[in-house]
Structure 1
Amino acid sequence: MTDIPRRTVQRTAKLASLPLGVAGRVAAGWGKRLAGRSAEEVSAEVSARTAEQVFAVLGQLKGGAMKFGQALSVFEAAVPDELAAPYREALTRLQSAAPPLAARTVHRVLAEQLGRSWARRFAEFDDEPAAAASIGQVHRAVWHDGREVAVKVQYPGADEALLADLRQLQRFSRLFQALVPGTEVKPLLNELRDRMAEELDYRSEADNQRAFAAAFDGDSRVRVPKVVASAPKVMVTEWVSGDPLSRIIREGSREERDAAGRRLAEFHFSSPARVGLLHADPHPGNFMILPDGRMCVIDYGAVARLPDGLPPTLGVMTRLALERRSAELLELLRNEHFVRPGTELDADEVLDYLAPFVEPLRPERFHFTRRWLQSQAERIGDLQSDDFRTGRSLNLPPQYLLIHRVTFGAIGIMCQLDAEVPARAIVTEWQPGFAGDE
């Protein structure tokens, strides 16, 4: 035991407790069914309590477990209403909560990364963290030139924690699958693992943020804080104060919800063309609304590199689905490897599967609601449905996986916002291929 860090053992024990707790609840559920309660009632209760346990455990952890929880958080709007309350509460905590580092540990990391005289770079430094991220925490400070800054300090051992968490979480992927209907959890975990090295080096994140800040400098709708300094495990950026998106989701006015949804959609679809990058960490904790109405976007550790912008194929596919051109749509899907090799599919059934996803682009404005997203999750997650069988025959090529997840994440947040958004105009402006320019 002495060769294994105690915290790693504790983390593993917490994660390992998850399937045991679920098994116990399922067994208790069968007992209640024998006592006369309906399968639906028992299933709802078991799922709700499972959600509470899963996210309570994830919320105690940093590294991969917390990052996975944040990635799941954008799918909360797809959870049925009767289960949404425990999800919402637990996921909201995950988006901002983690145990803080001791001040002496923070100082040690700053000395290692910025030099022994690191304190001279700051006029002031607050030892109490202002916020927590998945692999680090943020401190408020004043730079030596008087600028208010945010200092992100990576947790010591974050790399080992990420690896350990993700290995454990991959073992339990079937458990998490049940919590997010219609979403493939295993590829999400694989993708998080593949992007881990990039996110652990704050110099890479700083380069990404500098690119976004330059592209959106002076923009009337989006603000990206500028990078002041960076090192492998410390990053200093401008401090920005605003209204957290989580507050607007919880209690915002209709005007606030619609404006936030529109800003989010504009940022998501315009970034690849303007920056050559796609912000790939969409959860409410990374967005805030400023007093002047702009949306501030933070955390650029995860990005998709799209130097040529969004792939035109996605725009063409979307347009063909909207225009109900099923034969051409199926041909395009086959040519672009969206259909598993050797699979026979009916063009009209493929159209029936995909058409509901593009409905937000049919009217001038679309009301993104939890109920709409829930209906999509239920439709493709029903093992007895034609849509489920069609979906199993389709394939998502690797180059589209991150784009798909991030787009779905943005849509999930718009549904959490209950926002009306002019989605068609935004996609027409920024998605190549959609307006017939392929």
Structure 2
Amino acid sequence: MSDDRKNRPVPTGRLERLFGLGAMAGSIGARMAFSSARQLLSGKPPRLGELVLAPANALRVAEQLSHLRGAAMKLGQLLSMDAGQILPDEWSTILSRLQANASPMPTRQLEQQLSLQWGPSWRDRFDHFAMTPIAAASIGQVHRARTRAGRDLAIKVQYPGIAASIDSDLDNIVSLLRLSRLVPAAVSLDAVVKEARRQLQQEANYIYEADQIRWYAKLVADDPTVLLPEVYGDLTGQSVLAMSFIESEPIDWLIARPQAERNRIAERLIRLTLQEVFVFGVIQSDPNFANFRYQPISGRLVLLDFGATRSIPAELTGKLRELLRAALTGDTARQRSAMLDIGYFEPQQYRLAELAVDLLAMGMDNVMASPLFDFVTADLPRRARDRALASGFSADLWSIPPIDTLFVHRKIGGMYLLASRLGAKIDMRALLDEFAAPQASLVVR
């Protein structure tokens, strides 16, 4: 891809962004039609699944979402974490570029953003400011800089118009979901869209993120296994976030390291997620792999990007602990009751309740089967998908649980996929037993 193509301006208007999504869908449709015709001419019946999931379509999706950034790219990042568990390996490989590799904004847009935040003489603050980003993600891109006082910084600069595009992106995505019939017409997405809008607006507010970094840093201040950047408030504003630069490497580079090291980091990631749910009462809900890095010199886990941090109600924490205890004892009646109490289904949704308990039992059987849970061979996401598909897509199998649980599931699912990517083997039974036990009071903010 040429530099001109990589550095296209961020589209800011609703129609422009809708056209981008529509062009992506149209391109995929055209490829499908061409491939279908070619298969027919060769005497083979077209197979819709193979046509939709063709690697060429993954490449088109990655390119367009990388250009759009914002909420649209967030969707692609969620798909990219699949790690071949559900989507074909080619899709996971191609979409993985979305984790921290959006199209960077042109220099002109970057300078405009910095001038808006720091004024026209902003360069006077720095000995050096690298105009080429070291990372470019869905909401903003990150630059390396050194201040006159010698502070080594990582500075996140928000793309122009991203905050204003959140509403239109969500509306466009929901429209595409409805048109594609991926979500039944009878299922209301209003609550999910409302919460997604609130979450993305928070992520686009770098002052909010700075506060979350400071708070989370206090929670893990005494933990020698994790490291967070320091926030510099004098350079931070609504669309620019200044942090200390931490030398580290992408988390998935650990796949080349010894099994024991991969196991240790994966165990720490999962333990941290359980701490968030059952101890901290606050969760960094965006499990994008780019938000987790590794510092080989210290062996520490580096945590980045806290715009998606959200509080978990103490009541939900108690209900989730009850469900965990029921799962560990294999008491299906107790599991069903706990799930109903959380709100995973309504009392009359018998088939959904049966499927939910069945899927939980499938996972726990694997956890109990051996001392070390192998995240690769267990293949739970694919097996769960197959089990759900075998049950059909009737309306009684659709239910949207309380919003807070969706964000908890998002983080847990992301950590499972990351542990799979690392090929980890962990004593999950011991971990779950530890957090199922009565805990001290939640940390109160």
Q: Tell me, yes or no, if the aligned pair for 2:81 and 2:92 is still in contact at 8 Å.
A: no
Secondary structure, aligned partner of 1:237 = strand
2:76 to 60, 69, 77: 69
Amino acid at match of 2:58: A
2:173 to 169, 173, 176: 169
Aligned length: 419
2:384 to 370, 376, 382: 376
Distance 2:308 2:76 in 1: 15
Give the structure 1 partner of residue 417 of structure 2. Answer: 412
Structure 1 unmatched runs, 5+: none
Give the structure 1 partner of residue 319 of structure 2. Answer: 313
Tell me, yes or no, if structure 1 residue 14 matches structure 2 residue 38.
no
Amino acid at match of 1:169: I
Give the structure 1 partner of residue 371 of structure 2. Answer: 364
1:254 to 236, 255, 259: 259
Amino acid at match of 1:143: T
Shift in alpha-carbon separation, 1:189–1:412, aligned structure 2, 3 A: farther
1:57 to 64, 74, 92: 64
- CA deviations on 1:336-381 (whole Å, 9 max, x unpaired) are 3322253345976653232123345424321112733212222213
Secondary structure, aligned partner of 1:235 = strand
Distance 2:398 2:166 in 1: 33
2:145 to 141, 148, 154: 141
Shift in alpha-carbon separation, 1:345–1:88, aligned structure 2, 3 A: closer
Displacement of 1:434: 9.7
Distance 1:151 1:67 in 2: 20
2:275 to 263, 270, 274: 270
Task: Show the 5 A alignment for 1:398-437.
Answer: 398-430=403-435
Amino acid at match of 1:197: Q
Displacement of 1:38: 5.7
Tell me, yes or no, if structure 1 residue 197 matches structure 2 residue 205.
no
Distance 1:6 1:373 in 2: 35
Amino acid at match of 1:424: R
Amino acid at match of 2:207: R
Structure 2 unmatched runs, 5+: 1-9, 441-445
Q: TM-score, normalised by structure 2?
A: 0.82
Task: Show the 5 A alignment for 1:99-248.
Answer: 99-173=103-177, 191-229=195-233, 230-248=236-254
Distance 2:135 2:319 in 1: 39
Shift in alpha-carbon separation, 1:90–1:162, aligned structure 2, 3 A: farther
- CA deviations on 1:87-140 (whole Å, 9 max, x unpaired) are 122221111222323445434333332345544443432222111121111111
Distance 1:114 1:139 in 2: 15
Amino acid at match of 1:23: G
Shift in alpha-carbon separation, 1:336–1:311, aligned structure 2, 3 A: same
Q: TM-score, normalised by structure 1?
A: 0.84
Give the structure 1 partner of residue 7 of structure 2. Answer: none
Amino acid at match of 2:198: D
Q: Tell me, yes or no, if the aligned pair for 2:32 and 2:51 is still in contact at 8 Å.
A: no
Shift in alpha-carbon separation, 1:78–1:177, aligned structure 2, 3 A: farther
Displacement of 1:413: 1.6
Tell me, yes or no, if structure 1 residue 84 matches structure 2 residue 89.
yes
Shift in alpha-carbon separation, 1:13–1:149, aligned structure 2, 3 A: same
